[in-house]
Amino acid sequence: MKQDLLPPDSTNLLSTQAQKLGMSRGVASKCRRLATIALIAVFSGLVNLTPIVHADNQSVSLASPLAIPTLPAHYVFSQQITLTNNKNVPAYDVKADVVLLPAETSYSRVSLTGESQAPVAVSHDAFGNLIGTFLWSTLAPHQTVHLTLHYTDTSYDVSYRLPRSYPPYNTTSAAYQTFTNPKLEAQTVNTDSPVLERIVHQVVQPGQNPEQQAHALFSWIVHNIQYNYSLKPSGSAVATAQSHLGICSDIADLYVGLLRTDHIPARFVGGYVTNNGSGQGGFHQWTEFYLPDVGWVVADPTWGAYGYFAALQDHWHIALYDGIRKDIVVHWSYSPQALPAREAKHQIVIHYQYHFVHASSSSPTPSSEAPPAWHLSRHTHTTHPQKAHADPPAPSFWHKMAMWFSHTTAAVLHWLVHI
């Protein structure tokens, strides 16, 4: 389970929006950081430490032709995986399916540049993720091995040239059939549940086009769902709607569920945000929805008070995987004579971390100082982690004013795009 990222600091987010209006760029120069973060899950493996680039490590592109990416930021990072058999008996026939690359988006273009071990096969799942399959015949008792994946990414501010009107959806297309299907991610997204149907019926007005409907549902979330600073997930779209409380994954689930209930294709994106406006980086979840003749359009409802509908007002979002799925799925065999079944499910353990080793941006930085190096302390996450976080102070008058100004600026930018 990944650490959730607290919502952005409004004062610093204003600097990125101000760049688009020709205002001050001073704060934007502070958004370069190095980050490390760690997690634990069930896994296993064996690696050769000679870097190899696999021939088929290409991602699927879901970028919209009407996207306007600007202000690119360039990142170099690695995923380091440590695998351990923590029992006194071997594990056999280990098969691991690992998300190597997400689908390419209009705002994040991740490339796999090196592997310490090449997968035996690669394939794409239904969400467009590139999956690498790794096989190992045996992992000896208490054996620890390492696997490293090297990446580059270019992330952008993004907006879209959205039309004033839209043709009907092609309801027979793969995108529509897949991403409005109530059975897809049903346990967390809850598409077509009575709770979500009631919200859609109350919010969406007759005669609205798909973009207007999506914006109305986005605004409902912004005004009705609060971020849970205890970082306790609600666990589903319905639970979030009923409690009016959730973390970023819950809020993304709810928005995806509302969109699909309204027959607008929508998908979940998981990734890393290098800054939330106050210098904090961490794992984060957001969404994309599909518009006819436009394609996939980004929206981050957790940060919706600062804009983030059909736009990203930063170049901090790095997509790592698409869809509500495990980034690593592992199967292995064991000897039932040597290991009871209740212990076998805990036989293989993984510890992995993303390490951002470099970042650069087209945004100007003061000549008197280099872009700062950012570090996060490493956190070891078990199956039920205690999440480290720092609650923000109670909002002051000036903080509220900054939030109002940020929201107004985002609305003006959204209006200008439609002129």
What range does the domain containing 79 cover? 33-156+327-361
Q: State residue 279's pLDDT score.
A: 80
Higher pLDDT, 171 or 43: 171
Q: State residue 73's pLDDT score.
A: 94
Q: Is the pLDDT of residue 419 over 70?
A: no
For 329-359, give one letter per residue: b (16+ CB within 10 A) or e.
bbebebeeeebeeeebeebbbbbbbbbbeeb
> Rg for the chain (alpha carbons), in Å?
22
Lowest mean pLDDT among 102-106, 279-283, 349-353, 389-393: 389-393
Q: Does residue 219 sit within a domain?
A: yes
Task: Indicate the helix (H) or strand (E) that contains 203.
Answer: helix 194-203
- One DSSP character per residue, 165-198 reads --PPP-TTSHHHHHHT-TTTTHHHH-TT-HHHHH
pLDDT tens per residue, range 86-111: 999 999 988 888 999 999 999 999 99
The domain total for the chain is 2
Average pLDDT over residues 44-52: 30
Residues 204 and 286 in one domain: yes
What pTM, to 2 d.p., does this model score?
Answer: 0.77
Q: State residue 61's pLDDT score.
A: 87
Q: Is the pLDDT of residue 69 over 60?
A: yes
Residues 404 and 256 in one domain: yes
- What confidence category does residue 413 fall into, taking pLDDT thresholds of 50, 70 and 90? low
Q: Does residue 13 sit within a domain?
A: no
pLDDT tens per residue, range 196-218: 999 999 999 999 999 999 999 99
Query: Cβ distance 199 to 155 under 8 Å?
Result: no
Q: Does residue 21 sit within a domain?
A: no
Residues 334 and 283 in one domain: no
Q: Does residue 119 sit within a domain?
A: yes
Q: Is the pLDDT of residue 364 over 70?
A: no
Residues 341 and 405 in one domain: no
Residues 310 and 186 in one domain: yes
Average pLDDT over residues 345-370: 65
Q: Rounded to an integer, what distance in angstroms lies between the CA atom of residue 314 and that of residue 277? A: 9
Residues 274 and 133 in one domain: no
Average pLDDT over residues 353-378: 46
Residues 116 and 184 in one domain: no
Residues 207 and 113 in one domain: no
Q: Does residue 11 sit within a domain?
A: no
Q: Does residue 22 sit within a domain?
A: no
Residues 38 and 81 in one domain: yes
Higher pLDDT, 258 or 384: 258
Query: Cβ distance 56 to 105 under 8 Å?
Result: no
Q: Does residue 382 sit within a domain?
A: no
Lowest mean pLDDT among 50-64, 116-130, 287-301: 50-64
pLDDT, the chain, mean: 78
Q: State residue 146's pLDDT score.
A: 86
Q: Rounded to an integer, what distance in angstroms lies between the CA atom of residue 140 and that of residue 332? A: 13
Q: Rounded to an integer, what distance in angstroms lies between the CA atom of residue 165 and that of residue 162? A: 9
Determine what percent of the chain is predicted with pLDDT higher than 90: 58
- What confidence category does residue 36 fall into, taking pLDDT thresholds of 50, 70 and 90? very low
Residues 203 and 316 in one domain: yes
- What confidence category does residue 369 fall into, taking pLDDT thresholds of 50, 70 and 90? very low
Which CATH number do you get for residue 264?
3.10.620.30
Residues 40 and 132 in one domain: yes
Question: Most confidently modeled of 16-25, 304-313, 347-356?
Answer: 304-313
Residues 91 and 189 in one domain: no
Listed in sequence order, the residues at least 6 apart from 88 whose beta carbon sits closer than 8 Å to its beta carbon are 141, 142
Question: Most confidently modeled of 281-285, 291-295, 408-412?
Answer: 291-295
Average pLDDT over residues 266-270: 96
Q: Does residue 372 sit within a domain?
A: no
